[in-house]
């Protein structure tokens, strides 16, 4: 009895010793190092303040951009209703959303490498052997028998060098970059809709101006005809009045062509057929609101395209680690276990059990420079994405400065143009009075009419440009978006 116990103790000790290296190896694998450079956010030149914001008055607290709904700063219900429909029906936005879902799914695939792969199966086989096969002994070997098996297999790549972890890191960065890309597309679509909307409303203002001018010119033509019939005006003056009237009517008609194009573009943005969509006429009258800028350093956190570029720098950094991990051995642990029996009734029994454990290490001894090439490629790609990130930052500051300058200069131009409109209208009134008094010809009136109309149209165009520049400025500073909105996938 004591001998049996001794043998059993010896077997257990030997078994423990056989598993000890494997256990140590697993522990080492779990706590293994990660090769490759540690990620650090690229340095970009950030100015202390915006050059064109010298005379920019600070925005009031109530003027702050609403997160996700920056267009509400314009306090235009029609615009807000249209903007809300983009997230529901725009097809380009759905494309970007699908791309983000794909990137998130790719991350799940990469994370699966952190865990063992386990498979299971079973089989039932009935075999009959040939009695005429070589070395067949009919007295000791059955010609027919059954074989039932239930097995489970597991395999695991020991991530000693961090290849799998770097792959997960790269996939996570790509998923976050894809989320920032989605935010960029959404911001661009909402900005494009606002641009089209204010362009359309500017044309509505032009149309209203031209229509009222046509009415005035019709009255002037009627006056000229009456004076002609009374012998106080010539046929040339009637022709001049008729010419400027028809020219203005043609301009009013041409505005409708441009308005239709804007209306059709808005329909596509909200996912509707242009033939089934129309917007009521609503002339643009109010100037743009003040836009809260924030500090230039905030721009790095408020632009989704900058966030996407930065995430792809981290992804490229992780790819360097993946490339360097290829220089080290690939260690794979595997194991299997189950039951096998010739009779189904004895399948799930101790004597029917089977198992195996093992490990394999593979090291590439010669690849003709392939790993070096992959590593150099990854390093160069990282440098490319760093340069792209810095270029994106520079372009972002350029866009902010461009639109700040546009708003500042257009505001000054609007004041000058308003004075020009007032002067032109006064000049026109004097010319009409002089014409009625017989002091001058109708040519002077037509010149004053053309000047007044040109200044009024220019004033409307400046107001439209101020509104579109304000939209572009909001887009340039990120539209209320913040890097904290990137999902922690």
Please report, for the domain that includes residue 131, its CATH number.
2.20.200.10
What is the 8-class DSSP label of residue 253? Answer: H
192 lies in the same domain as 247: yes
Pair (192, 180) in one structural domain: yes
**Averaged in consecutive runs of 10 residues, what is the pLDDT profile of the chain (489 residues)?**
44 42 48 81 89 63 64 94 92 94 95 94 87 71 82 93 94 96 96 97 96 93 90 90 94 95 96 94 93 86 95 96 94 93 87 92 94 96 97 95 94 96 94 88 90 95 97 94 90
Please indicate, yes or no, whether residues 139 and 101 belong to a single structural domain of this protein. Answer: no
279 and 197 part of one domain: yes
Supply the angle between the helices 370-436 and 304-325 in degrees, to the nearest 10.
Answer: 170
Region of residue 334 (phi > 0: left; psi between -120 and 50: alpha; otherwise: beta): beta
Domain that holds residue 460: 35-115+160-328+370-485
CATH of the domain at 178: 1.20.1600.10
Regarding whether 153 and 220 lie in a shared domain, the answer is no
Q: Are residues 101 and 237 in the same domain?
A: yes
C-alpha 461/C-alpha 419 separation (Å) is 15
pLDDT recorded at residue 1 = 46
Closest CA to 28 of 323, 357, 361, 327: 361
Burial class (CB in 10 A: 0-12, 13-18, 19+), 65: buried
pLDDT attached to residue 441 = 86
Two tokens, residue 480? 């209320």
Question: 127 forms bridges with which residues in the sheet?
Answer: 145
First to last CA, the chain: 61
pTM: 0.85
Largest CA distance in the chain: 146
Is 238 within the bounds of a domain?
yes
Rounded Cα gap, residues 283 and 278, in angstroms? 15
Residues 258 and 344 in one domain: no
Residue 43 burial class via C-beta count within 10 angstroms: exposed 0-12, middle 13-18, buried 19 and up: exposed
Whether the CB-CB separation of 168 and 111 falls below 8 Å is answered with yes
Question: Which two three-digit tokens encode residue 66?
Answer: 């609403």
Q: What are φ and ψ of residue 334, in 5° steps? A: -145, 155
d(C-alpha 281, C-alpha 387), whole Å:
47
Q: How far is CA 158 from CA 22, 26, 136, 337, in A?
A: 11, 7, 45, 20
**Per-position b or e across 378-406, b if 16+ CB within 10 A of its CB:** bbebbeebbebbbebbeebbebbbebbeb
The residue from 362, 386, 410 where one domain ends is: 362
Residue 9 in any domain: the answer is no
Task: Find out whether 417 and 458 touch, Cβ atoms under 8 Å.
Answer: yes
Whether 133 and 171 map to the same domain: the answer is no
At 80 the three-state DSSP class reads helix
Structural domains counted in the chain: 2
Report the pLDDT value the prediction gives residue 11, as an integer from 0 to 100. 39
Alpha carbon 279 to its chain's center: 28
Quote the tokens at residue 332: 């794979």
Residue 193 domain-assigned?
Answer: yes
Q: Among 89, 106, 114, which Cα is nearest to 177's?
A: 106
C-alpha R_g of the chain: 39
Q: What's the pLDDT at 362? A: 93
What is the model's pLDDT at position 294?
82
**Domain co-membership, 241 together with 308:** yes
Taking the C-alpha atoms of residue 290 and residue 58, their distance in angstroms, rounded to an integer, is 8
Based on the number of CB atoms within 10 Å of its own CB, is 336 exposed (0-12), middle (13-18) or buried (19 or more)? middle
- 228 part of a folded domain: yes
Q: Look at residue 13 and tell me if it is in a domain.
A: no
Q: Give me the sign of the Cα torsion angle 436, 438, 444, 446.
A: positive
Structure tokens at 269: 């943005």
- Residue 358 domain-assigned? yes
55: Cβ–Cβ under 8 A, 6 or more apart, which residues? 408
Q: In what order do the strands lie in the sheet with 353-362?
A: 117-128, 144-158, 330-341, 353-362
Looking at the domain assignment, is residue 25 inside a domain? no
Q: What is the DSSP letter of 329?
A: -
- The burial class, CB within 10 Å (0-12 / 13-18 / 19+), for 5 is exposed
pLDDT of residue 42: 93
CA distance 345 to 333: 33
Residue 28 lies in a domain: no
Q: Are residues 126 and 221 in the same domain?
A: no
Same domain, 189 and 338: no
Kindly state the helix (H) or strand (E) to which residue 192 belongs, with its residue range. helix 163-229
Do 333 and 478 belong to one domain? no
Helix (H, G, I), strand (E, B) or coil at 341: strand
With tokens 């007295």, the residue in question is: 139
pLDDT for residue 438: 85
With contact defined as beta carbons under 8 Å apart, do 332 and 359 qualify? yes
- List the beta bridge partners of residue 120: 152
């Amino acid at each position: 009895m004591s001998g049996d116990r001794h043998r059993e103790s010896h077997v257990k000790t030997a078994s423990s010793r056989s598993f000890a290296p494997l256990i140590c190896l697993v522990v080492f694998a779990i706590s293994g190092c990660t090769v490759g450079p540690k990620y650090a956010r690229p340095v970009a030149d950030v100015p202390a303040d915006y050059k064109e914001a010298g005379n920019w008055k600070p925005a009031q607290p109530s003027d702050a951009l609403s997160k996700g709904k920056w267009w509400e700063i314009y306090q235009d219900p029609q615009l807000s209703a249209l903007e809300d429909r983009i997230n529901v029906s725009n097809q380009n936005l759905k494309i970007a959303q699908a791309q983000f879902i794909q990137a998130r799914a790719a991350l799940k695939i990469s994370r699966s490498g952190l865990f063992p792969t386990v498979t299971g199966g079973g089989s039932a086989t009935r075999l009959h052997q040939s009695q005429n096969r070589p070395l067949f002994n009919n007295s000791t070997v059955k010609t027919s028998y059954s074989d039932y098996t239930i097995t489970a297999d597991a395999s695991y790549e020991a991530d000693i060098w961090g290849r799998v972890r770097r792959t997960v890191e790269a996939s996570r960065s790509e998923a976050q970059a894809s989320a920032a890309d989605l935010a960029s597309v959404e911001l661009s679509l909402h900005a494009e809709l606002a641009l089209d909307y204010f362009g359309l409303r500017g044309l509505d203002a032009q149309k209203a101006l031209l229509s009222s001018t046509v009415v005035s010119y019709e009255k002037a033509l009627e006056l000229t005809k009456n004076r002609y019939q009374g012998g106080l005006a010539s046929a040339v003056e009637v022709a001049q009045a008729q010419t400027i009237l028809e020219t203005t009517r043609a301009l009013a008609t041409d505005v409708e062509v441009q308005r239709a194009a804007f209306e059709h573009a808005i329909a596509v943005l909200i996912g509707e057929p242009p033939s089934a969509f129309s917007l009521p006429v609503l002339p643009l009258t109010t100037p743009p609101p003040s836009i809260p800028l924030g500090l230039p350093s905030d721009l790095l956190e408020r632009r989704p395209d900058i966030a996407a570029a930065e995430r792809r720098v981290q992804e490229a950094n992780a790819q360097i680690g993946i490339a360097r991990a290829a220089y080290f051995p690939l260690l794979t642990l595997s194991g299997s276990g189950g039951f096998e029996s010739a009779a189904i009734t004895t399948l799930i029994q101790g004597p029917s059990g089977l198992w195996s454990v093992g490990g394999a290490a593979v090291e590439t001894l010669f690849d003709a420079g392939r790993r070096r090439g992959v590593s150099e490629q990854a390093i160069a790609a990282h440098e490319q994405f760093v340069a792209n990130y810095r270029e994106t930052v520079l372009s972002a500051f350029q866009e902010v400065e461009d639109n700040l300058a546009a708003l500042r200069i257009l505001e000054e131009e609007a004041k000058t143009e308003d004075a020009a409109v007032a002067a032109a209208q006064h000049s026109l009134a004097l010319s009409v009075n002089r014409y009625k008094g017989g002091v001058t010809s109708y040519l002077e009136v037509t010149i004053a009419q053309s000047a007044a109309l040109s200044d009024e149209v220019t004033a409307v165009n400046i107001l439209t440009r101020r509104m579109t520049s304000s939209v572009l400025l909001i887009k340039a500073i990120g539209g209320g978006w913040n890097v904290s909105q990137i999902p922690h996938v």
